Structure 1
Amino acid sequence: MFHTYDEALIWIHGRLRLGIKPGLTRMEWMMEKLDHPERRLKTIHIGGTNGKGSTVAYLRSILQEAGFKVGAFTSPYFEHFNERISVNGTPISNEDLLDAANAIFPLAEELEQSDLGGPTEFEVITAMSMYFFAKINVVDVVIYEVGLGGRFDSTNIIHPMLSVITSIGLDHTSILGDTREQIAAEKAGIIKKGTAVITAVSQDGPLKVIKQAAKQMKAPLYQLGAEFAITFHTSIAKGEQFTVHTLFKNLENVEIHMIGKHQTENAALAIMSAQILNHSFSFEIDESAVRAGLKKASWPGRFEIISENPLIVMDGAHNEEGVAALVRELKSRYSSRNKIILFAALKDKKLDRMLDHIDTAADRIVFTSFNFPRAATAEDLYNSSLSPKREIARDWQAFLEKTIPSLKDGEMLILTGSLYFLSQIKPYLKKLLKK
């Protein structure tokens, strides 16, 4: 048993030593011991390569505006660990996290002595969330973001009202497969029998895989570009404006404050989800809740403008598709600005294609590293880039302290790469900008 929050957190993080162990057996064992809290929850399951967190944010905000108490389970956290389990956007309290950890601890100890082996950090946190939402802070609905893949992800023990697959890209290929079709098959593992599936996947191969999985599970499929669509998109000063056409209702001139064309797709997924909840599950969600929820939605580290003067943007572009979207927005919105990019990434990512995109947008690209076991070194990143404008900053704190005060009119600083990197930078950057 733990007596303090810090003791619980040290134990949870200590589970990282077990790495990633795909499979649902340990989760099912723990749920059985806890009298199946996951069966008491109304849930929505969101998977995909990119856009999961933003889609969670849009749908959570819509449901909150409609008056519902909404739980969310997301990863990774951005500034504080407690963010991973939240109610109406408020992270779990230290006291409630301690209670949830104490509920799971004896089960983890028992599993350690069994043939199944001890649960991983992610399995422990997932189990804690289900116990919390079912027994400590009961909610109307919980939105679960897939951690990795889908088929064998620990969140996949839920039986949701809706399954959402945002996008398919080449990420975590060592675990999920080398092709988009293989990855799509893993993501499609969250599709449940008879449960509606909503997707923004557009590539022919992955979409075919998802369609086949939906057909096998007799799951109704709602595809962006078919059953619902986006028209009249235009970028506005602080966000995007567009119209969404669905089988149920058209919404004209919808506004969001997250930046990027890809965010219109994430918002459209949330709109379609809300309309299905309204029509099929008696969730009363009117148009005003949808519009207000979309406007208020935010998600840290997704083309987040940290400072306007000087202009500093933070974006967690941690794979090829994410970097491509970032570069597209930089070229569209800030074509006349000189762009200084500070970049750090994990060494298990496919760096060559990411760097190819970034090299085209940077007037100056600075590679660094950060305190994380899987972080690539600044030298590795430098050697993987072909840009003649590249350089190394071994100490990112010193780089920020020197660079930010010297930013001139017409220049901007972009902090990008791994979300783990940005989560370390952001608290420090806030303090720096206050000086």
Structure 2
Amino acid sequence: MIKTYEEALSFIHGRTQFKKIPTLARMKRFLKELGNPQEGLNYIHITGTNGKGSVVAMMRSILLENGLTVGSFTSPFITRFNERIEYNGVQISNDDLLRLVQKVEPIVEKLDCELATGGPTEFEIDTALMFCYMAEKRPDVVLLEVGIGGLYDSTNVITPVVSVITTVGWDHMKYLGDTLAKIATQKAGIIKRHVPVVIGNLPQEARRVILDDADQKDAPVYRLGVEFSGQKLNNHQFYAKIKYQSTRMYHLEAILGLGGDYQVENAALAIATVEVFMRQQGLTIDRQVLIKGLKETTWPGRLEEINELPLVLLDGAHNLPGIQALVKTIKDDFAEKEVYILVAILADKQYKLMLGELASLGNVHLVVTRFAGPGPKRPSADLEEAVKDIPTKYPVQVVNEWQLGISEIARQMSTEDVMIITGSLYFISDVRKLFTK
């Protein structure tokens, strides 16, 4: 019997993460045993290689500002598990999490015995806990972020009011496929018949797959750059001022609370999705509410400012598209500054390509390090070996303990310079604990 919050977390994290054959049958059976808590709620379902978390954060801020009650499910967490499940921006309490784990544990044990493939995975349990919590809270809308992909993701057991596909890039190829078309097919799995889908800036190969899927399901499509658009008005500024336009909203200007140029597209997606959702629900949205909601958005670990002078940023650019977005921000907003980057990446990512992107910038001083990693099966990459063949303007520094890496950079930089700590979200989580104690 699970009696404490710590035991509840151990139970969750002790489960297997993946099964060999992807299926939603196990998740559906699990939820049926729990009384189908997922039914009867309004969902906005979000997938994409990057940008999901930022889009969720902006939508949550806008919808709360508009007076709605909002549940959200995001992953991974930055500091503690409870961040994954929130109601009105407040994390699930330790007591509620413990109580819900106590509720699902007997069902998990039962399915372990009855199912040939074994009972639910870790993420399936996370998802079930969230559905149970939302069934109790009954928010006006649940912002539901997929874990991986979409088609067989354990969140894909609902019919949303709106689906969102932010980006399609190279990530989780072991599970999603080795071409952009295959990855896009997985992400298109969240598109439902007659349910509108909002899509971001997608590579042509992926875009074709998504649009074909939407067409087959008679799902209305809202495309960034076609039905709606967002552009930056204040070049070379870290916090973007954007102009948003759609077929129903003309010339909205807003300053974003999240830094980085890539947030311009994320903001446009968030506004467009809120527009579609509110219209589907027969609700109206005030322009001033949108402007205030965007400005007040916060999202830990995504170009998060943790020190002002000198500027220190945390950015969980944990895959190649994420690093490419960071590189664009450095080029656009910090081209005149010296930028010191401390980076640690998991060994199962495209770390050589990621390092190559960072090293290509003439104003970047690269410091590579390592961290504990989430477990023995997912270690930190040996970046010292990886950087040997990468040409850089400044010599790459290797510091095996990341805490010393921060100290070393602080000793070298001036107040005019910028420090960016990036790479794995697990690494960012470790660093953030140090800075936010």
In the superposition, the TM-score normalised over structure 2's length comes to 0.94
Deviates more, 1:14-23 or 1:408-417: 14-23
Structure 2 partner of 1:80: 80
Distance 1:17 1:168 in 2: 23
Structure 1 partner of 2:249: 249
Structure 2 partner of 1:410: 416
Give the 3 Å change call, closer, same or farther, for CA 16–411 of structure 1 in structure 2. farther
Distance 2:206 2:157 in 1: 23
- What is the CA deviation profile of residues 101-158 of structure 1, one whole-angstrom value per residue up to 9, with x for unaligned ones? 11111111111112131211111000000001102x2211110111101101111111
In the superposition, the TM-score normalised over structure 1's length comes to 0.94
- In structure 2, the residue corresponding to 1:154 is in which secondary structure? coil
- In structure 1, the residue corresponding to 2:360 is in which secondary structure? helix
Structure 1 partner of 2:436: 430
Over the aligned positions, Cα root-mean-square deviation in angstroms equals 1.8
> One-letter code of the match for 1:12?
I
Distance 1:422 1:20 in 2: 30
Contact 1:30 1:107 in 2 (8 A): yes
Q: Report the alpha carbon displacement of residue 6 of structure 1 after superposing the two structures with TM.
A: 1.0
Give the 3 Å change call, closer, same or farther, for CA 236–70 of structure 1 in structure 2. farther
Structure 1 partner of 2:116: 115
Structure 2 partner of 1:271: 271
- In structure 2, the residue corresponding to 1:422 is in which secondary structure? helix
Structure 1 partner of 2:403: 397
Structure 2 partner of 1:282: 282
Structure 1 partner of 2:135: 134
- Indicate whether 1:57 and 2:63 are aligned: no
Q: Report the alpha carbon displacement of residue 330 of structure 1 after superposing the two structures with TM.
A: 1.1
- In structure 2, the residue corresponding to 1:124 is in which secondary structure? helix
Q: Report the alpha carbon displacement of residue 63 of structure 1 after superposing the two structures with TM.
A: 0.7
> One-letter code of the match for 1:291?
I
- In structure 1, the residue corresponding to 2:155 is in which secondary structure? helix
- Indicate whether 1:382 and 2:383 are aligned: no
Identity of aligned residues (%): 40
Structure 1 partner of 2:29: 29
> One-letter code of the match for 2:372?
N
Give the 3 Å change call, closer, same or farther, for CA 112–232 of structure 1 in structure 2. closer
> One-letter code of the match for 1:303?
L
- What is the CA deviation profile of residues 216-269 of structure 1, one whole-angstrom value per residue up to 9, with x for unaligned ones? 111001101111122463347551112211122224222212122221111111
> One-letter code of the match for 1:11?
F
Distance 2:125 2:306 in 1: 33
Contact 2:228 2:246 in 1 (8 A): yes
> One-letter code of the match for 1:401?
S
> One-letter code of the match for 2:406?
L
Q: Report the alpha carbon displacement of residue 405 of structure 1 after superposing the two structures with TM.
A: 4.7
Structure 1 partner of 2:4: 4
Contact 1:351 1:384 in 2 (8 A): no
- In structure 2, the residue corresponding to 1:152 is in which secondary structure? coil
Deviates more, 1:12-21 or 1:80-89: 12-21
How do 1:30-429 residues align onto structure 2 when only pairs under 5 Å count? Answer: 30-113=30-113, 114-135=115-136, 137-231=137-231, 233-235=233-235, 237=237, 239-361=239-361, 363-372=364-373, 373=375, 374=378, 375-383=380-388, 385-387=390-392, 389-429=395-435
> One-letter code of the match for 2:13?
H
Distance 1:352 1:430 in 2: 30
> One-letter code of the match for 1:119?
P
- In structure 2, the residue corresponding to 1:72 is in which secondary structure? strand
Give the 3 Å change call, closer, same or farther, for CA 329–73 of structure 1 in structure 2. same
- In structure 2, the residue corresponding to 1:185 is in which secondary structure? helix
> One-letter code of the match for 1:74?
T
Give the 3 Å change call, closer, same or farther, for CA 104–235 of structure 1 in structure 2. farther
Q: Report the alpha carbon displacement of residue 333 of structure 1 after superposing the two structures with TM.
A: 1.5
Q: Report the alpha carbon displacement of residue 326 of structure 1 after superposing the two structures with TM.
A: 0.7
Contact 1:194 1:218 in 2 (8 A): yes
Q: Report the alpha carbon displacement of residue 183 of structure 1 after superposing the two structures with TM.
A: 0.8
Distance 1:285 1:90 in 2: 23
Q: Report the alpha carbon displacement of residue 402 of structure 1 after superposing the two structures with TM.
A: 3.9
- What is the CA deviation profile of residues 260-295 of structure 1, one whole-angstrom value per residue up to 9, with x for unaligned ones? 222111111111111112222123422222111111
Name the count of aligned residue pairs.
430
Distance 2:329 2:10 in 1: 39
Distance 1:125 1:232 in 2: 37
Distance 2:303 2:324 in 1: 13
- What is the CA deviation profile of residues 28-84 of structure 1, one whole-angstrom value per residue up to 9, with x for unaligned ones? 011111111111221110000010000000111111001111000000001111000
Deviates more, 1:379-388 or 1:20-29: 379-388
Deviates more, 1:311-320 or 1:158-167: 311-320
Unpaired runs of at least 5, structure 1: none
Distance 2:67 2:251 in 1: 20
Give the 3 Å change call, closer, same or farther, for CA 211–272 of structure 1 in structure 2. same
Contact 2:343 2:368 in 1 (8 A): yes
Deviates more, 1:13-22 or 1:336-345: 13-22
Give the 3 Å change call, closer, same or farther, for CA 384–250 of structure 1 in structure 2. farther
Deviates more, 1:248-257 or 1:124-133: 248-257
Distance 1:235 1:33 in 2: 54
